[in-house]
Amino acid sequence: MKVKYSVAKNKIRLIIIVVTIISITSCDLDDLGYEQYQTGIREYDKQILHLLRVLDENSYGVEYRFVVVQEIAKILKIAELPLRKLMFLSSYVESNPRDPYNSYHLFTVAEGYREMGSLPVAGHYYERILRNYRDAVVQGKSIHLAALQEL
């Protein structure tokens, strides 16, 4: 009788451990915003998850983070999910206010809205870049100058 009780007790402990691991893992994915950026394409989703985890580690320099952010945006664009791309970039900027490349990320958002024909929204982002963010030079181009030219 005591052996059956011990086995049942061990099964309950195992179930508790498994449930705890699942809930910790799913919270981690929720914290990363993974579900918002799923594409429905398995290979892209794996890449996005990996890149979000790299961003979450926060142990890399700003240049490396810039490349990671741009890679996620590129995957979302290739997957033909432009609104998710814009949402990702604007969310990233809000979550990382000190990133020196935020003006570039927001310029990409503005360009996305411009390409979709939402000129007033694009204009809002161009103005926001000029008012609130330092200029950045990416690929030899000033983000502030490009934003001014678009206005």
pLDDT at res. 40: 76
Torsion of CA 137, 140, 143, 146, to 10 degrees: 170
pLDDT tens string 97-123? 999 999 999 999 999 999 999 999 999
DSSP 3-state of 107: helix
User: Taking the model in full, what pTM does it have?
Assistant: 0.73
- pLDDT, mean over the chain: 81
Tokens 């049942």: give the residue. Answer: 8
For 34-81, how does the pLDDT look when each residue is reduced to its tens digit (9 = 90+)? 567 777 778 888 888 888 888 887 777 888 899 999 999 999 998 998
What does the pLDDT read at residue 9? 59
DSSP H helices, 33-61, are 42-57
Q: Band the pLDDT of 4: cuts 50, 70, 90.
A: low
Between 24 and 6, the more confident residue is 6
Query: Which tens digits make up the pLDDT trace of 132-141?
Result: 999 988 888 8
Higher pLDDT, 147 or 28: 147
Q: Which residues contact 142 (CB under 8 A, 6 or more apart)?
A: 135, 136
